[in-house]
Chains A and B, each alone.
Chain A
């Protein structure tokens, strides 16, 4: 403990080093991803290890994970822009921007998973309103537009005031301000009103589209592991937990969360702890009902999770690293130290990925008809799934892309974190 405290003594230096580390890791992952993309585009699905039985693999798990991060951080930002929760004001913009970046990461992941990447637009022109997946796609498209417009109005004043023709930043700001030159008090009140309307509309949309992700698994009666009314709710809770947890880490690295803004990290830690406990409650409820109910398909899925070949994902990754250690860190004295809270946030965010894997893969790996997986001798018809190298690399590449995009945005976009701090507080919205 003392050793670590000494190491973390000069907080500014530590967070500078963390930033450096962030850029190095981001660039490496991004470059690694090229291999994955080249294989994906040249060979299609042939080099990927998913097949006819486990038909959704790492990329789909990554997709629901990233889209959960997006919904989660957006809902955290809504506490600022809808419910006017002052304590989180500083991370409001950061949370909305995180929501956009993680949404783009999610879309890239699922795009790679499509058999025909060039046909993604078919969902818009040949709609099937009975399909939960189609609804999810319409909703997150709306959500993406809403996010972009909200970010514009959040940053518009800062962009206009810093726009000039001299520096690179100034030129970028001029471009991003889309020709707006209005810096009057009136225009800022208008911006704030628009943001409030958009953020308010965004809350039900975010709940619906992420609930929709849960529903598209939940409606599949053929997969007892997914077929539960708890699923959409469990998805939302996990989204909130992972989104909140990621924000503790981001605000630590990028907003001096360990020095000037300690309270915000500690406060986020409290929220994440509450949500994590609720998430655990829901999962235990599902677990107990499944085992006491004893429906064979249902039990088979959970058996794979807790004692299958990848039980370590559940016990080690999701359980010990992602739940137990963070619970410990957020409950005991360490909960008051932003460093430990950020570490807990990192572990929780990583642990939820294990949860996502444990949703997608065991659900598919259970034999639907006895003898089916031994009827044909082909690696395409194999309930045993471990992602191939190209699958891993493509996912790493998407993580790297997200990190670089976030880093660039953080570097270039205006940094007035106190939203409308100069605006007189009497203005009622």
Chain B
């Protein structure tokens, strides 16, 4: 079985926000809400410091607290590469998953259900990259299957230093930031 993951090279990212625009357009995300976004973090102390720019979204965790906390099972781990999805028809909008998510990746859609990044499920089943990855002008984002030893994402993780966000919450996130 596949395990889809995203690898993002923070040394290449310039924070152009093309991924944000691509996502909003591709997924018709309503105004005031975002499925992905950019954060800036200054790391180090003067004079040895650098700024890390990260494109963030749902981490499609291996151990997703949002799925365990959902009272109806609307939040679930999909058969498609272990990604975390929301069944919009089942969701009652209790927002327990939003509170449980350590990445603030979720929001309540104005129609009342919870929505978030789907890794562009509709594109990956056709063999395409998610919209954000496809649109990145610096090619700093990689999408692929970690179970496949020859995939680009697996090779990058084998050869480069990386980190994940909030590992202390025990979620086993699947978005890796190369540093």
- Chain B associates with chain A: yes
- Verify if B40 is at the interface (C-beta below 8 Å from A): yes
Indicate the size class of the contact surface on chain B: 35 or more
The verdict on A137 contacting B34 (CB below 8 Å), with A52-B106, A222-B101 known, is no
Taking a contact as CB atoms under 8 Å apart, the answer to whether A122 and B90 are in contact is: yes
- What does DSSP make chain B's interface, helix, strand, loop or mixed? loop
Q: By the criterion CB–CB under 8 Å, are A220 and B65 in contact? A: yes
Known contacts A45-B108, A222-B101, A223-B99: A369-B166 contact under CB 8 Å: yes
A133 to chain B, nearest CB (A): 4
Q: A319 at interface (Cβ–Cβ under 8 A)?
A: no
A372 to B166, CA, bound (A): 13
Contacting residues, chain B, for A363 (C-beta < 8 A): 99
What residues of B have a CB within 8 angstroms of the CB of A379 in the complex?
32
B96-117 CB contact bits vs A (8 Å, 1 = yes)? 1011111110111111111000
CA gap between A56 and B108 in the complex, in Å = 11
Do B73 and A128 have beta carbons less than 8 Å apart? Answer: yes
**B49 CB to nearest A CB, Å:** 15
| Chain A residues with CB below 8 A from B39, complex form | 369-372, 375
**Cβ-defined partner of A126 (8 Å) among B72, B100, B166, B169:** B72
Among B40, B71, B112, which residue has its beta carbon within 8 angstroms of that of A115?
B112
Residue of A56, A128, A219 contacting most chain B CB atoms (<10 Å): A128
Q: Select B41's contact among A134, A364, A370, beta carbons within 8 Å.
A: A370
Number of interface residues of A (CB under 8 A): 44
Cross-chain contact B65 with A221 (CB below 8 angstroms): yes
A380 touches B33 (CB 8 A): yes
Contact B69 A52 (CB under 8 A): no
Given known contacts A55-B98, A368-B166, A44 and B112 CB-to-CB distance under 8 angstroms: yes
A316 CB-CB contact with B under 8 Å:
no
B106, closest chain A residue (CB): A52
B56 at the interface (CB under 8 A from A): yes
Interface pairs (13), CB distance under 8 Å: A52-B98, A52-B107, A113-B94, A116-B112, A123-B72, A126-B72, A128-B70, A131-B71, A131-B96, A134-B71, A375-B34, A379-B32, A380-B107
Can you list the 5 inter-chain pairs with the closest CB atoms, starting with the nearest? A115-B93, A222-B102, A115-B112, A134-B71, A371-B39
B→A interface (CB under 8 Å): 32-34, 37-41, 56, 65, 68-74, 90-96, 98-104, 106-114, 165-166, 169-170
